[in-house]
Amino acid sequence: MSNKTNVEKKMTIKKLTKEPGGPVRTPLKLKVVSVAKTIDYTNQKGKDMQMKFITFADKSNIITGKLYDMGKTEVIQEGQCVCLQDYIYDAKDQRVVITSKTLVKKARRFSAIGESPKTQQAKNLKREERPQNQETLASPPQVKEGHQQVNSMPMALGTTQEPVLYGTPVHCRTHLCACTPSKNISPLPQEPKQEEKVTSDPKEGRDVLSELLNILQHGSKKQLRSLNLIGDKKAKMIIEWRSHNALKQIDDLEKIDGISTKIVETLKNQFLGKHTSEVPSTSNDC
């Protein structure tokens, strides 16, 4: 008998992109980077449907996905690590498709691609220091060895009593001011403040343009007309052109007669400026 144990197969995004496409049963552990707005559309049978575009990441790569089961949004949330099984891989568009048959479970947190381990350690250190700083503010300052301590008894207003330093009076300019320390007393050293590091997410603009591309690929006539510079005529031209051609990127609009390069660039810039502020940050640790 062989002593080899059966090792559970695990899928990664890098391995998945090499697959021919279709249903996949191998578990895929991912981190949810961003969740786009819900898109309403009508399928080929004339039924009203809903869909969300998701951006996933793991330690090997980043991939987009389509979510057709809105009930799974309770688990698929930004910053959450999940494990998918019985999903579909769309090799043409390189996307993960999540349907009602897909099994979605919460997974143990991990650091995805693009996240710096030093940044995560700094955030953990900052969390540990918060209760320590509160205790330091609540407790009185400690006098180090070799320093002299002034009598901490309060002095009533209008009295002439002087504070005493181990039997020796310490003269003050007025009764309301702080006592002048002795020349032999050196100030306590102050601990340097730690600077907080601010990190930014460079993938925010990429996610917004990915949402624009998906609207151009699958959006209805009404959704296309909601875009800037796209009226009724251009919406019909886009729908007719994509029914015979593959629209793989936004710049493919230039292949349609009547849509110039300037219109495409203006469309991207206006959509990016309008929706960038609505895309949530993805700086949560996983």
pLDDT digits (tens, 9 = 90+) for 46-66: 888 899 999 999 988 999 999
Q: Taking the model in full, what pTM does it have?
A: 0.41
Q: Is 270 helix (H, G, I), strand (E, B) or coil?
A: helix
- Contact 256/241 with Cβ under 8 angstroms? yes
Q: Is 108 helix (H, G, I), strand (E, B) or coil?
A: coil
Number of H helices, E strands in the chain: 6, 11
pLDDT in tens, 263-277: 888 888 888 877 665
Most confident of 29-33, 43-47, 133-137, 238-242: 29-33
**DSSP for 163-211?**
PEETTEE---SSTTSPPPPPTTPPPPPPPPPPPPP----TTHHHHHHHH
Provide the β-strand partners of residue 103. 85
Count of beta carbons in the 10 Å neighbourhood of residue 98: 24
State the pLDDT at residue 190.
Answer: 66
